[in-house]
Chain A
Amino acid sequence: MSVKVEVIEGGVPHNNILAAGLVSTLVCLYLTYLNVLTSTQMFSFFGGLAVVAALVWGSHTIKVLCSYGIGTGVPSAGMIAFGSGVIAMLLATKFGMLAPVVALVLAVVIGLILGYVSNNILNMKIPAMVQALTEMAVVGALSLMGFAALMTGSFTFAGLTNGSTSVMGMILANHEMSFMVGGLAVAFLLGALAIQHPFNATLGPGWKQDRMLMLAAECGFLSMVVAAIMSFALISTGSALISLIIAIIGWAYTYQQYMELSKRDAAAWLNAKPIPDVEGH
């Protein structure tokens, strides 16, 4: 059964968000390549911005999909986004500089297959399913790549599997200290919860697009804060500090804005007041 329970009224159309999200994510991912060109790690923070852009887009995709009664909770959508995205992302890292584009193409293929399976084989017959699953696989793959770039300064396989530890001032190669060992699981869940939370937390009759998208940006920056703290172990201190400062500023601004928007939409904003009287109860 696929009954559409809500429609998107007003606000920015989904296709605009899709286009803007895709372009800005890819641009931000490629801006981290400045690290290679300038032989520094200072531009790693663009990976975090790519995550924020992808999550804003992905949360709206979830809104489009979950407007239909899909029969599962909203969080499951976040899990499938990153579950399908991680395959594309890992495979794509082998392609060097082309990695983001290859991840995009692979994720589209994986998403289309998953969409076909759910709509035609499992017979869910939800109109938005194929496009939404495709978009979510892309969002998952690109966000994971963004986290990788943020934490290690690189999105290539070699950069993600090589790590180093400094023992008594000497730098030693140590694969135990690489993104694939320590960062991937954290990036997966950080993204999977951040992508589903905006719609899950604002659903209801009073849903507003701007409030949800602001929350998506807030979740993205919050994930970036902790990922930037983890990046201290993997990239130079100065570069990690730049990421951390940008993340904290972004998070504080979006959190404050989200609270303002919630205050605007709430029925009342009370402090230590009793339950209001409602007629008939």
Chain B
Amino acid sequence: MVANIIFGIGITALAGALATVAGSSEDTESNIGSQGDPNSQVQLAPQMGFLHRIFNKAVAGEPPAYGLWCCLGAGLAWAFMAMQINPVLAIVLGSVLATFVQGVYATTAYVGRTASLAKFGQPVYVDILKSMTSVTMAHAFIAIFCTVTLCHLINTALGHPFPLPLLGLIWGIALGAAGSATGNPYYGKERQYQNQKFGAGVPISASGNIVRYAEAGERNSLDNGFFTHKIGGSASGICFGLIVFLELWRTILFEQVGAGWGAIIVGVLIILIFTVIDRYIEVWARKNYGPYTEVKEVSS
């Protein structure tokens, strides 16, 4: 019994670590591709006359997109394991094929969106297509591989009843949601508008006027990935890592309490604790940063 719990906690820690890497990699991948919420400004910029060399990989929102990549990776791994292939090799092969699908979707999205903006003179940059797609594929592979591996751990080591592809779908969507909610604002609200006052939001007059030039030369999406990985990527990694870790931790430790109700009650408690922490951080940040207080002083 105790040995089981210790084994479970070990798996939980390993899954949490994998999830942290996956979250960090996922956010960097989506930022290099301008996927999710920052995409609207990248799409809008040429229409406002701001031509750019930013990669515009609009496949879908991150949750459905990562739902597919991870589900596909898990499904292929499941099929390879059914063919009696070693799980490690099966997961790697499944992730490689899922990454291939991701890369194809990325190229068709960039080329298609840009070709539809021909009226505004936005050219298709073949060098952007080549260099950015390969980098996003590399990051996507890490994210997919880590997620499928943690699903495999949950399935085989912890004995979760769901089949591997379904776990891939669920955790893939969770991964996309974590990256989309945590890391994306840092790119969409901060990096794209570094030329605006901090915390000012995006005034309508500045719509589409995203940062397009670097210290030297013109900026491309690799610079954006480099910039956002430091804080946005790490925050997404911690977010997804905590989600996976706490979810498994409460299940392993409290599932036996009260015929399963123990795990549910602990889950609700965790949500309440995080709500309090989030509210405290938000109020603290508003007090210490941004123009909120200045505006009050002017009006009073």
Residues of chain A having any CB pair with chain B under 8 Å: 73-75, 78-79, 165-166, 176-177, 181-183, 185-186, 188-190, 192-193, 196-197, 200-208, 211-212, 215, 218-219, 222, 226, 229-234, 255, 258-259, 262-263, 265-276, 278, 280-281
B169 near A270: Cβ-Cβ < 8 Å: no
Q: Which 5 A-B pairs have the closest CB atoms?
A: A204-B116, A186-B75, A268-B123, A201-B112, A233-B79
B163 near A182: Cβ-Cβ < 8 Å: yes
For B94-129 the 0/1 string (1 means CB < 8 A from A) is 000110010011001101111111111111111100
Question: Quick one: which of A206, A219, A222, A270 contacts B119, CB cutoff 8 A?
Answer: A206
Shortest distance between the CB of A229 and any CB in chain B (Å): 6
B52 near A232: Cβ-Cβ < 8 Å: no
Shortest distance between the CB of A82 and any CB in chain B (Å): 11
A211 near B112: Cβ-Cβ < 8 Å: yes
A229 near B112: Cβ-Cβ < 8 Å: no
A276 near B123: Cβ-Cβ < 8 Å: yes
A266 near B163: Cβ-Cβ < 8 Å: no
**B contacts with A, residue count (CB < 8 A):** 58
Shortest distance between the CB of A203 and any CB in chain B (Å): 6
Shortest distance between the CB of A175 and any CB in chain B (Å): 11
Residues of B with C-beta under 8 A to A219 = 105, 108
Stretch with Cβ within 8 A of A (4 or more), from B21-29, B53-61, B229-237: B53-61
Residues of B with C-beta under 8 A to A176 = 163
A197 near B168: Cβ-Cβ < 8 Å: no
Contacts A185-B166, A269-B123 given; does A218 touch B61 at CB 8 Å: no
A177 near B82: Cβ-Cβ < 8 Å: yes
A-B contact pairs, 17 of them (CB 8 A): A182-B82, A186-B75, A196-B60, A200-B59, A201-B108, A202-B112, A202-B116, A218-B104, A226-B98, A229-B79, A262-B124, A266-B111, A267-B117, A268-B124, A269-B124, A269-B126, A271-B127
Question: Quick one: which of A185, A204, A218, A267 contacts B113, CB cutoff 8 A?
Answer: A204
For B253-266 the 0/1 string (1 means CB < 8 A from A) is 00000000000000
A271 near B51: Cβ-Cβ < 8 Å: no
Contact residues of B between 19 and 44, Cβ < 8 Å to A:
43
With a 10 A CB-CB cut-off, give which of A186, A203, A211, A274 has the most chain B CB atoms: A186
Contacts A73-B61, A229-B79 given; does A276 touch B108 at CB 8 Å: no
